[in-house]
Amino acid sequence: MLDYEISANEAAILLKEKQARLIDVREPWEFETTRIDGSLPMPMGEVAARAHQELEPDELLVVLCHHGIRSMNVAVWLRGQGFEQAQSVRGGIDAWSVEVDPTVKRY
């Protein structure tokens, strides 16, 4: 079984190799402030209503928020719903900005 968390660098490699799908669970204003290209905006409050319609249970899902708290909660929930390959980016988009891509604005 996969760990519940993945580092920003590990996530970047998976995404670059198109082995995972990036789900951004931040609020719309946060997504407008800064984002990672190719991410699917799905605010945390909408995940329960949208997950089974928009996500595949067998795909590797990399879940992202600001610092990694909301994304961990969503990853745990998704796994409970049968999305067994959901992982949270440790440190969120803030860690991504520091470790992977400094052009992603910090806030």
Active site residues: 65
Which of helix, strand or coil describes residue 104? coil
* Nearest residue to 47 (alpha-carbon basis) of 14, 81, 19: 81
Could you tell me how far CA 89 lies from the centroid of its own chain?
6
Amino acid at 36: I
Q: Which residues pair with 23 in a beta bridge?
A: 40, 63
